[in-house]
């Protein structure tokens, strides 16, 4: 395990004499590999081509991969969470934990070098020459995603960067998905700080019928329109069951519901933060909800204008406070409405 950070780099497979290992019966080798944790298999994969082929032919045991890249100018810091095992990537001139390491860094030529470490232990840092943290992290991410045996519950891609460095990083990640990856077996996909057009380029790399949840946090410079036409024709979009959309972190604007809500009318579950929610929106929803197969709930946060009048769209005789709960029945199905000036929840009731 202590050598994981070194193995993450693009070093060649070992050319040392490994005959003692290779002479083992294939059954024993497979039994050993089955007992290894996913990150340990990553290390052993570098031992020989035979181990490489064996490991790549099997499921890697990963359930969650969370990639996060923070980039400001030349200062890049990436982390990948593999089943809660963290690998950190930092450019060599980034601050590290101890004064001794900082002194050592000053003595080095920092051009195109980076540090990689397993977890948050400063003693595990390893220097990788001739590359940068973002490139190394992308290589490692691609390695796991390209394995056809990978079966993920959650894949999260999060980019934190100002506009001047965001475009390059986001396009590199988008191109990885659109040109090198396909049939990704992922149930829940989280994409933060990317545009809707980039989401549209990324989604086709996911296996149809597997992707159930899409969580999209928009990039700050993007138009706040909820849905773009290049998304709605994708099968991955049409077949997903849950959609969460919100603006970029720390942004003051909210999503604009000027989009035709029929473009998202197939989602049984929706969570969205909006700029304003009006009686006209409620009238659209009244027509939409009964048509959504296996409807569960829609949660709308934002400026809810005149909640009692909105509730009257569903219950004409309603006359009460601007916050509360109500029961609505349509086509024999009972729905619950919870509302106030900042929240509107419409959900299916499983009780009479």
Domain range for 349: 254-352
- Ramachandran angles phi, psi of 305, nearest 5°: -80, 125
Is 115 inside a domain boundary?
no
Compute CA distances 104 → 100, 101, 107, 119, whole Å: 6, 5, 5, 21
Total domains in the chain come to: 1
Q: What's the pLDDT score for residue 104?
A: 52
Asked, for residue 292, whether it belongs to a domain, the answer is yes
DSSP state of 85: E
pLDDT in tens, 210-222: 999 999 988 765 5
Please calculate the CA angle 40-43-46 and round it to the nearest 5 degrees. Answer: 145
Give the pLDDT confidence score for residue 110 in this predicted structure. Answer: 47
DSSP 228: -
Residue 259 lies in a domain: yes
In a domain, 263, yes or no: yes
Asked if residue 47 belongs to a domain, the reply is no
Residue 156 lies in a domain: no
Residues of the chain with pLDDT under 70: 1-26, 29-30, 32-59, 72-75, 93-112, 120-124, 163, 220-228, 248-260, 352
Q: Which of 339, 344, 181, 220 is nearest to 273 (CA)?
A: 344
Max intra-chain CA distance, the chain:
84
pLDDT at residue 86, as a whole number: 84
Q: What pLDDT was estimated at residue 45? A: 62
* Residue 3 lies inside a defined structural domain of this protein: no
State residue 156's pLDDT score. Answer: 98
On whether residue 136 sits in a domain, the answer given is no
Judge contact between 301 and 278, C-beta under 8 A. no
Return d(Cα 71, Cα 323) in angstroms, integer: 43
| 73 burial type by CB count under 10 A (0-12 exposed, 13-18 middle, 19+ buried) | exposed
């Amino acid at each position: 395990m202590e050598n994981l950070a070194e193995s993450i780099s693009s070093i060649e497979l070992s050319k040392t004499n490994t005959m003692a290992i290779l002479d083992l019966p294939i059954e024993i080798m497979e039994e050993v590999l089955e007992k290894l944790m996913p990150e340990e298999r990553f290390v052993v994969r570098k031992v020989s081509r035979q181990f490489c082929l064996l490991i790549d032919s099997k499921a890697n045991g990963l359930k969650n991969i969370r990639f996060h890249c923070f980039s400001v100018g030349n200062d890049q810091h990436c982390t990948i969470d593999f089943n809660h095992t963290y690998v950190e990537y930092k450019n060599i001139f980034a601050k590290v934990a101890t004064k001794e390491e900082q002194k050592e860094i000053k003595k080095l030529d920092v051009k195109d070098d980076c540090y990689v470490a397993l977890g948050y232990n400063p003693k595990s840092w390893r220097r990788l020459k001739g590359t940068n943290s973002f490139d190394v992290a992308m290589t490692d991410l691609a390695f796991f995603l390209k394995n056809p045996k990978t079966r993920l519950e959650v894949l999260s891609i999060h980019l934190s960067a100002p506009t001047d460095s965001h475009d390059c990083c986001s396009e590199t990640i988008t191109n990885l998905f659109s040109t090198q990856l396909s049939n990704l077996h992922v149930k829940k996909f989280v994409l933060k700080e990317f545009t809707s057009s980039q989401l549209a380029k990324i989604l086709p790399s996911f296996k149809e019928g597997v992707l159930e949840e899409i969580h999209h946090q928009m990039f700050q410079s993007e138009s706040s329109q909820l849905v773009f036409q290049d998304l709605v024709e994708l099968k991955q979009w049409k077949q997903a069951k849950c959609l969460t959309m919100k603006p970029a972190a720390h942004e003051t604007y909210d999503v604009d519901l000027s989009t035709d809500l029929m473009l998202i009318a197939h989602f049984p579950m929706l969570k969205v933060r909006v700029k304003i929610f009006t009686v006209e929106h409620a009238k659209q929803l009244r027509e939409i909800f009964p048509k959504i197969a296996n409807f569960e709930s829609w949660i709308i946060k934002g400026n809810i204008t005149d909640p009692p009048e909105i509730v009257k769209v569903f219950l004409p005789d309603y006359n009460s406070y601007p916050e509360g709960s109500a029961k609505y029945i349509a086509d024999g199905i009972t729905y619950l409405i919870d509302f106030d000036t900042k929240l509107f929840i419409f959900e299916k009731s499983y009780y009479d």
